[in-house]
């Protein structure tokens, strides 16, 4: 009983402290949205990292700004900057790390709010990245700052990072940092990634992915005499036809025990990301006509999402076998296949310490049972697991996943406050323990 009373008292203190910072949480989220960190190409990364550094230095965090030189997209014009802020407590203990990506996708059309104004309306903050995931970043900062203000001599360490390029694979962010040892199990023990998965859900991991390029080859000729050439686009059409006949039905029959959301993603899927063939698209101001040519090359990019029950080599061989079947049936069929990148599925155990701590935080803060989910797409947990070899990692944060990358993206203010409480309770649980 004494143990439970002590935990309850700490949680009540955290609740009051976070409630007193509500306006600060809103202002912080607005400030982050107003830094337009569009990726591609990777704008204003240094600016947002410096903003976070100044903010967290005031709470006693030691700060490192780290450029991932030589990673995809890194250049003098668009350097890949990351920030890691670490605060040691008063005595030894584990390190809890909150990791958020700083980049956002392009705005697109259809907005009724300025995408970079951080407008507050009807209890919501609107803007590109509000949901995915600057609201989560702000909530994790306020959770950590509230905890530090109450118990500055806590055991262990707290880290908060803002990392680059998650929206384009994370290779200039978490992947590079993990390769440098910043996510090694000796340095960090628990990781929470505040992605927008809804405030009552714990995301244990994600499906696997393989991106690949398929090229078909032909022979150029005059368009009035196509029989003298060999149309690469027709060859690619045969590839698509075989996908429709054999591959897509086979993928629909593969189902997983992973709790993937939404339900449609509990099977294997493949998306044809892009298709190009023949002459390049003309410039918008070109008013002429195309020339009469038989296309000698066509190119397709595929995005294959696979399940924990499948193996990467099996996924690759599935596509190669399909291409070989087409080759056997079509005269002159030639192709190239290149795997662009591949990431295996990952799923943290439901018994992992960080899962249990966030479960207890949700029950205490929200008075409901947590729901375990798995993401249909990947996020930076892939690098923490695969490169960092750190398994005690989940995604948990405010926001509605379906709003990510949409016009009029928003995050609810109450949801941010509630998620900040959950994260603070989990932080207390992992550092102070249940005693």
Phi, psi angles (nearest 5°) of residue 24? -65, -40
Tens of pLDDT, residues 80-119: 999 999 999 999 999 999 999 999 999 999 999 999 999 9
Is 62 among the residues known to form the active site? no
Find out whether 192 and 133 touch, Cβ atoms under 8 Å.
no
pTM for this one? 0.91
pLDDT at 3 over 80: no
- Which one of 74, 165, 166, 409 is the catalytic residue? 166
Per-residue pLDDT, averaged over 1-5, amounts to: 59
Residue identified by tokens 């990510």 is 404
* Distance separating alpha carbons of residues 215 and 336, to the nearest angstrom: 5
- The answer to whether 314 is a known catalytic residue is no
Over its C-alpha atoms, the chain yields an Rg (Å, rounded) of 24
Query: Nearest-CA neighbor of 392 among 356, 424, 367?
Result: 356
Mean of pLDDT over the chain: 96
Helices 45-57 and 22-33: angle between axes, nearest 10 degrees: 160
List, for residues 366-416, the tens digit of each pLDDT value.
999 999 999 999 999 999 999 999 999 999 999 998 899 999 999 999 999
Residue with tokens 């890194």: 74
- Are 181 and 187 in contact by the 8 Å Cβ rule? The answer is yes
Spatial contact of 299 and 277, defined as CB atoms under 8 Å apart:
yes
Q: Is the pLDDT of residue 9 over 80?
A: yes
Kindly indicate the confidence band of residue 433, based on its pLDDT and cuts at 50, 70 and 90: confident
Question: Quick one: how far is CA 162 from the chain centroid?
Answer: 13
The residue-averaged pLDDT of 328-332 equals 97
The pLDDT assigned to 382 comes to 95
Vertex 216: Cα angle to 211 and 222 (nearest 5): 145
Q: Residue 1 — very low, low, confident or very high, per pLDDT cuts 50/70/90?
A: very low
Residues 117-137: tens digit of each pLDDT: 999 999 999 999 999 999 999
Q: Which of 74, 103, 385, 418 is catalytic?
A: 103
- Per residue in 173-232, pLDDT tens? 999 999 999 999 999 999 999 999 999 999 999 999 999 999 999 999 999 999 999 999
- pLDDT tens, 43-53? 999 999 999 99
Sequence-separated (6 or more) residues with CB below 8 Å from residue 172: 42, 68, 71, 72, 73, 74, 80, 82, 164, 165
């Amino acid at each position: 009983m004494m143990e439970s009373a002590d935990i309850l008292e700490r949680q009540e203190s955290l609740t009051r402290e976070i409630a007193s910072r509500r306006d600060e949480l809103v202002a912080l989220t607005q400030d982050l949205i107003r830094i337009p960190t569009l990726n591609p190409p990777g704008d204003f990364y240094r600016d947002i990292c410096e903003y976070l550094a100044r903010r967290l230095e005031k709470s006693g965090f030691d700060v490192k700004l780290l450029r991932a030189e030589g990673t995809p997209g890194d250049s003098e014009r668009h350097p890949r900057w990351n920030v890691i802020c670490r605060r040691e407590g008063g005595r030894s203990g584990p390190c809890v790390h909150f990791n958020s990506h700083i980049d956002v996708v392009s705005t697109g059309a259809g907005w009724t709010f300025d995408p970079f104004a951080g407008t507050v309306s009807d209890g919501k903050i609107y803007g590109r990245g509000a949901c995915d995931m600057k609201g989560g970043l702000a909530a994790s900062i306020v959770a950590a700052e509230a905890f530090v203000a109450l118990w500055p001599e806590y055991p262990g360490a707290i880290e908060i990072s803002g990392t680059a390029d998650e929206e384009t694979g994370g290779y200039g962010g978490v992947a590079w940092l993990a390769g440098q040892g910043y996510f090694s199990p000796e340095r960090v023990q628990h990781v929470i990634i505040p992605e927008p998965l809804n405030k009552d859900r714990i995301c244990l991991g994600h499906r696997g992915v393989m991106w690949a390029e398929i090229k078909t080859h032909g022979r150029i000729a005059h368009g009035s005499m196509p029989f003298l050439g060999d149309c690469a686009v027709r060859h690619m059409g045969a590839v698509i036809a075989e996908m429709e006949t054999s591959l897509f039905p086979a993928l629909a029959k593969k189902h997983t025990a992973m709790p993937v959301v939404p339900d449609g993603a509990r099977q294997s899927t493949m998306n044809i990301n892009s298709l190009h063939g023949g002459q390049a698209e003309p410039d918008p101001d070109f008013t002429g006509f195309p020339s009469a040519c038989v296309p000698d090359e066509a190119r397709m990019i595929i995005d294959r999402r696979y399940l924990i029950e499948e193996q990467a080599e099996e996924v690759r061989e599935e596509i190669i076998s399909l291409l070989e079947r087409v080759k056997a049936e079509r005269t002159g069929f030639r192709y190239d296949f290149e795997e662009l990148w591949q990431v295996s599925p990952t799923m943290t155990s439901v018994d992992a310490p960080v899962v249990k701590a966030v479960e207890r935080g949700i029950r205490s803060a929200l008075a409901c049972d947590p729901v375990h989910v798995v993401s249909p797409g990947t996020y930076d947990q892939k690098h923490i697991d695969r490169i960092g070899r750190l398994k005690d990692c989940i995604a948990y944060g405010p926001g509605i996943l379906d709003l990510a990358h949409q016009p009029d993206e928003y995050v609810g203010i109450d949801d941010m406050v509630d998620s900040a409480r959950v994260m603070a309770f989990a932080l207390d649980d992992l550092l102070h323990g249940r005693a």
